[in-house]
Structure 1
Amino acid sequence: MTTWQNKVLELEERGWSLTALARATGASIGAISDLKQGRTKEPRANVALQLHHLHSTGAMPPEQGREAA
């Protein structure tokens, strides 16, 4: 399992959907799905930065953030 695959899976465990991750990173849903499935080993630089940021800061999906506010 790749580091990026792990990041996507861990973000999903926090409640992120592939759609929400795609919106937050500027990637397509297919690109996020490919990372999750291990078909893509390295995302584009801007997507990598956004995924790393979401993962490392413990960011919650937007839907949950609005409900908690």
Structure 2
Amino acid sequence: MANHVLLNNVTHKDLKIDPRYSAAHGNNIASTIIFPNEIEDIQKEYPILFRKDPETNQFLSTVILGFEKTKTCF
């Protein structure tokens, strides 16, 4: 379980960002579900598909982030 805390410059002075490309950081995700309020901004840069979930029969708005064979996050 994640322990969420507010960032501050004293406690987190040694915190660094890992700039490497890695599947562990989610860089192998080719698509993800988006919310309706995100569509206006996302449609400018990425294709959006509406996918029917076979379990619930509901449509999900999905953004395509790349075309390489990778896993999806839903």
The question of a shared fold, defined as TM-score above 0.5 by the shorter chain, is answered with no
Larger CA Rg, structure 1 vs 2: 2
Which structure has more relative contact order (CA 8 Å, sep 6+)? It is: 1
Q: Identify the structure with the greater helix proportion.
A: 1
Q: TM-score, normalised by structure 1?
A: 0.23
Q: TM-score, normalised by structure 2?
A: 0.22
